[in-house]
Amino acid sequence: MLGGIQAVTKIGVTSIPPIYTPYIDIHFLNIINIHKAKTIMEAISISLSLLLAIATTIILKQLISSLLHARLPLPPGTMGWPYIGETLQLYSQNPNIFFSSKVKRYGSIFKTQVLGCKCVMMASPDAAKAVLLTNAHLFKPTFPSSKERMIGKGAIFFHQGHYHANLRKLLLRAFSPDSIKQIVSHIDSIALSSLKSWEPRPLITTFHEMKTYAFNVALLSIFGKDEVSYGDDLKRCFYTLERGYNSLPINVPGTLFHAAMRARKKLAAILAEIISLRRDRKREDSNLLASFMSDAEGLSDEQIADNVIGVIFAARDTTASVLTWILKFLAQNPTVLHAVTEEQEAIMRSGEGKGLSWEDTRKMTVTTRVIQETMRVASILSFTFREAIQDVEFQGYRIPKGWKVLPLFRNIHHSPENFTDPDKFDPSRFEVAPKPNTFFPFGSGVHSCPGNELAKLEMLVLVHHLATKYRWCMMGPQDGIQYGPFALPQNGLPIKIFLKE
């Protein structure tokens, strides 16, 4: 007989005993008998018998699957208030507190409800690997419906299969080292211009200024050097959009979500105008927007707009958050700052005033480790969203179809089993590669961030000019952290900045 057929999709468990495989044998016998039939009526009769046996097999499989599945428990945990769930507990405090209290009480896998979604959270490296890599086909990328509405349902984040693969190909090509090395000089100019604008002010809010810098780099990577006249309007819309990003999806006047959706509508109108101008110009361009607009890709204007908004959203706040933490950690760790400054001054001397090149950024090994350790300690992305595309069994628990599944990067990054003294800022730990599946600054698998090389490049460029030309000191509380949606130093890290003499 044939081997057993799994009645429930499982991860890391053996198959169910083959209690209905005799029916499969009947199918093969009937197929053989059809060829032996002496009359048409006899062949029809055998064919009907075959169809009936197949239908019986399918029904039995579904019945046994349902019966076995019904016996599997959901992961332990609490769901909180109806619809609201435990959203406020997660987003109003240090997420470490929420996650660690859950893990301590329920273990490394537990259920909860956030942003109107029923979720299973997973806090171990093996679980993250299973969801993002080895069994990625069982968990599609997804976000709460409110986020899909804000960014746009055509954005790459919400898809898999051919559509996702095609978009990812375009993004990887646009953000590959071969592509972004062509814009190093432009990013260098943006960094210098940004820092120059800080000089006359007695106090700046680091996160706000880093958002402006990251936003301008994102516009450069998407549109090229054109359409700068739309920058301010786009920036205002994105500021309103991000304020409502983690709000409850209550679309009535006066709510953050309502304001965000209005800003989303205006964003779409601005992008439609830019796309129309590009078509009228009929000029060959080599930026991401041109790739999206290529006739060969077959993307609608709505899909193009959704993906432009998605790329800007992904490129702006996350990069700005990491840069904000870098300034804080460097200010708090003079020895590390000294090592970074020495490295960057040596690169500046070797360049002889010619400006940064791609090759220069490849020499920034100390600074690169600072960026890696900042992303680990700060863990800007506490988790990522996936959705079970069918009922799945994991470690003896049932994950129902449609439930969100969240690998907890923050827990993995802060586990003493993965990183010695995990709360200590120590870039030297990255002199040795971390253990597999313990470091997820850009996600993992086919849905990992395709713009990670661009993000690292713009961080390296800005740190180069900060370390070689400026000093800074933090103002106000230095230990406080604010949340929503990303973990940030209190008040966005107010600093004073001074030109070096």
The structural domains of the chain, with segments of one domain joined by +, span 9-70, 145-499
Q: How confident is the model at residue 497 (pLDDT cuts 50, 70, 90)?
A: very high
pLDDT value for 18: 39
Task: Indicate the pairing of strand 470-474 with strand 494-499.
Answer: antiparallel
Integer Cα distance of 409 and 412 in angstroms:
5
CB atoms within 10 A of CB 108: 19
Which residue type, as a one-letter code, is found at position 313?
A: F
Q: Please tell me whether 473 is known to bind a ligand.
A: no
pLDDT value for 58: 66
- Quick one: what percent of the chain has pLDDT higher than 90? 49
- Secondary structure, 3-state, 484-501: CCCCEEHHHCEEEEEECC
Q: What is the pLDDT of residues 26-57, one digit of tens each?
A: 444 444 454 555 566 665 666 666 677 676 66
Contact 412, 123 (CB under 8 A): yes
pTM of the complete model beyond 0.85: no
Mean pLDDT of the region 355-365: 94
Q: What is the pLDDT of residues 148-164, one digit of tens each?
A: 888 888 998 888 789 98
Going by the DSSP 8-state scheme, the letter that residue 132 receives in this structure is I
Residue of higher predicted confidence among 481 and 322: 322
Q: How confident is the model at residue 205 (pLDDT cuts 50, 70, 90)?
A: very high
Q: Give me the phi and psi of 498, to 5 degrees please.
A: -135, 145
pLDDT value for 384: 87
Q: What is the pLDDT of residues 180-190, one digit of tens each?
A: 999 999 999 99
Least confident of 242-256, 303-317, 365-379, 428-442: 242-256
pLDDT value for 239: 85
Q: What is the pLDDT of residues 86-118, one digit of tens each?
A: 888 887 777 788 888 899 999 999 999 987 889
5 pLDDT higher than 90:
no
Token look-up 């062509």 returns 182
Which residue type, as a one-letter code, is found at position 411?
A: N
Residue of higher predicted confidence among 400 and 227: 400
pLDDT value for 242: 81
pLDDT value for 3: 34
Integer Cα distance of 39 and 417 in angstroms:
71
pLDDT value for 65: 54
Q: What is the CATH number of domain 145-499?
A: 1.10.630.10
pLDDT value for 76: 92
Q: What is the pLDDT of residues 56-67, one digit of tens each?
A: 666 666 555 555
pLDDT value for 218: 92
501 pLDDT higher than 90:
no
Residue 81 DSSP SS3: strand
170 pLDDT higher than 50:
yes
Contact 143, 406 (CB under 8 A): no
Q: Shortest CA distance to 437 belongs to which of 125, 186, 20, 193?
A: 125
pLDDT value for 13: 40
Q: What is the pLDDT of residues 442-461, one digit of tens each?
A: 888 777 888 899 999 999 99
Return the H-helix or E-strand segment holding 280: helix 256-281
Both tokens assigned to 41: 């009526």
pLDDT value for 32: 47
Q: What value, to the nearest 5°, has the Cα angle with vertex 18 and ends 16 and 23?
A: 140
400 pLDDT higher than 80:
yes
pLDDT value for 26: 43
484 pLDDT higher than 80:
no
Q: Give me the phi and psi of 466, to 5 degrees please.
A: -65, -50
Mean pLDDT of the region 237-265: 85
Looking at mean pLDDT, say which of 249-253, 316-320, 323-327 comes out highest.
Answer: 323-327
